[in-house]
Amino acid sequence: MSKPGPDKQKKKWNYVFVESLKMAVFLPLVILLAEIFILDSWPGWEEKPIELVYDYIFLFSVIFLIFVVFHLIRWKRYKQYVK
């Protein structure tokens, strides 16, 4: 199996970053909307909407880090396999 070239690795990392970013943007929205409307766990969310922003930022950062670390681990294992 041949090693991927630098351009291919750059494209792969751009793809990983974009996919991780998309998931990190949309998953917190889905989670917060489910909490607000389906579970009705925040009865007074209209009074303090800034808490939604803080929760969204927290969920965004955690989900983004999880996806990036997951892809880093997969990439590292792939590089060991290719060698």
Global model pTM greater than 0.85: no
pLDDT value at position 38?
Answer: 76
**Per-residue pLDDT tens for 38-68?**
767 767 767 777 888 888 889 888 888 888 8
Strand, coil or helix: what is 39? coil
Residues with Cβ within 8 Å of 50's Cβ and at least 6 positions away in sequence, in order, are none
Confidence at 36, pLDDT banded by 50, 70, 90: confident
The mean pLDDT of 9-14, rounded to a whole number, is 72
How many helices (H) and strands (E) in the chain? 2, 0
Sorted by where each begins, the domain ranges of the chain are 6-82
Between the ranges 2-11, 26-35, 74-83, where is the mean pLDDT highest?
26-35
